[in-house]
């Protein structure tokens, strides 16, 4: 475990193995539809009475209880931003739940026990450090290329394009030739390089002086890295501090990581492998309601009783062999939630 203790978080550099995904998802927020996309809008008419949040490497469940503080029905647009999702080259692998679907994280919403549908807004961008983003949504749609930047979603559509069009997309850094040194028009797998930005939204009516319960579920995009780098015997101080800052890893957790690293690299390696797994949840963007979250409950589930987990928080309680609970009253989130799992599997 994490020494059965935890603290808060800041930032750790995210190389390719973090899957080039802005961590997990965010809370609902009141919003208006404006030119260029959704714009979050603050309101003092709706209070978030409670939020129950369940996080694991395979499932995220959120149950919100909202209350209309006014004497009239209140209607507003509710937005749910998906994570930025960036494609990559041949060495880039992502554990995307449903890569061929626009709803690639299997997002669903239930309001007061009834399933509801949401509109999906998706836009594709080429991004580069230090340069303005370039939107290519219209170009991809004109070529009938799906916006989800995975080979599963795009390969068939790209394969139908003439060679000169495919070469043009490579030259524009929209597609990557992977292991091919030069693109000469041959039929080869081309890897999407753009970033997809998605938002679900819907109009929600909050009845006067009443509560409504909104429940949302989705499958997170979990980062995975074989090798347990947090357990490296010569882990440099800067990296160790980064783990401690982001995931609140204490000495007990790091000792467990070193043991896993050594076991996976020893005579057990033929029958045993260990890896790190990362899940993040953006909670700070949801503070547009009246006041703080009245009652906040977080449950982190490591899944396997033999796994280890570290995350930041206070007054963390172990409630069963796999789950840890945090409860806070009048909660105003200051940081997002990042979770580090250490797991072991029989070698394939």
Q: What is the pTM of this model?
A: 0.81
Coil, strand or helix at 12: coil
- Per-residue pLDDT 10s for the chain (348 aa) are 333 333 322 222 232 223 333 445 556 666 655 554 545 467 899 999 999 999 999 999 999 999 999 999 999 888 888 778 888 754 344 567 887 788 888 989 999 999 999 899 999 999 988 899 999 999 999 999 999 888 888 888 998 898 889 889 999 999 988 765 455 555 678 889 999 998 888 888 999 999 999 999 999 888 878 778 898 888 889 999 999 999 999 999 999 999 888 887 665 455 557 888 898 888 887 778 888 999 999 999 999 999 999 999 989 999 999 999 999 999 998 888 999 999 887 654
For the chain, the domains span 16-120+201-345
d(CA 259, CA 270): 16
For residue 346, what are the contacts with CB-CB under 8 A and spacing of at least 6?
A: 271, 272, 273
Report the candidate in 15, 204, 209, 234 with the shortest Cα–Cα distance to residue 112: 204
d(CA 302, CA 304): 6
**15-43 as b/e: b if 16+ CB within 10 A:** eebbbbbbbbbbbbbbbeeeeeebeeeeb
Fold classified for 16-120+201-345: Immunoglobulin-like (2.60.40)
d(CA 221, CA 208): 37
């Amino acid at each position: 475990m994490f020494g059965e203790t935890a603290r808060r978080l800041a930032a750790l550099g995210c190389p390719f193995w973090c899957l080039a995904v802005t961590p997990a998802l965010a809370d609902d927020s009141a919003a208006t539809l404006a030119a260029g996309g959704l714009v979050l809008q603050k309101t003092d008419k709706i209070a978030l009475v409670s939020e129950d949040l369940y996080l694991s490497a395979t499932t995220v469940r959120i149950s919100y209880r909202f209350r209309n503080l006014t004497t009239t029905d209140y209607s507003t647009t509710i937005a749910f931003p998906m994570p930025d999702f960036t494609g990559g080259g041949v060495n880039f692998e992502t554990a995307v739940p449903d890569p061929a679907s626009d709803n690639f994280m299997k997002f669903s919403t239930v309001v007061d026990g009834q399933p509801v549908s949401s509109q999906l807004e998706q836009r594709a961008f080429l991004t580069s450090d230090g340069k303005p983003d370039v939107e290519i949504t219209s170009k991809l749609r004109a070529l009938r290329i799906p916006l989800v930047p995975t080979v599963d979603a795009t390969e068939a559509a790209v394969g139908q394009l003439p060679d000169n069009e495919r070469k043009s997309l490579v030259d524009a850094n929209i597609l990557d030739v992977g292991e091919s040194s030069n693109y000469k028009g041959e039929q080869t797998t081309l890897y999407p390089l753009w970033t997809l930005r998605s938002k679900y939204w819907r109009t929600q009516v909050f009845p006067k002086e009443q509560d409504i319960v909104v429940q949302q579920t989705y499958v997170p995009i979990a980062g995975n890295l074989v090798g347990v780098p947090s357990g490296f015997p010569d882990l440099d101080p800067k990296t160790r501090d980064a783990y401690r800052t982001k995931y609140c890893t204490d000495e007990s957790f790091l000792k467990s990581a070193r043991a896993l690293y050594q076991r996976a690299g020893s005579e057990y390696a033929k029958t045993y492998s260990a890896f790190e797994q990362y899940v993040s949840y953006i909670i700070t963007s949801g503070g547009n309601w009246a006041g703080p979250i009245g009652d906040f409950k977080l449950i982190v589930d490591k899944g396997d009783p033999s796994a280890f987990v570290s995350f930041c928080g206070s007054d963390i309680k172990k409630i069963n062999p796999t789950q840890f609970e945090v409860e806070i009253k009048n909660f105003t989130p200051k940081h997002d939630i990042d979770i580090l799992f250490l797991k072991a599997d029989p070698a394939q």
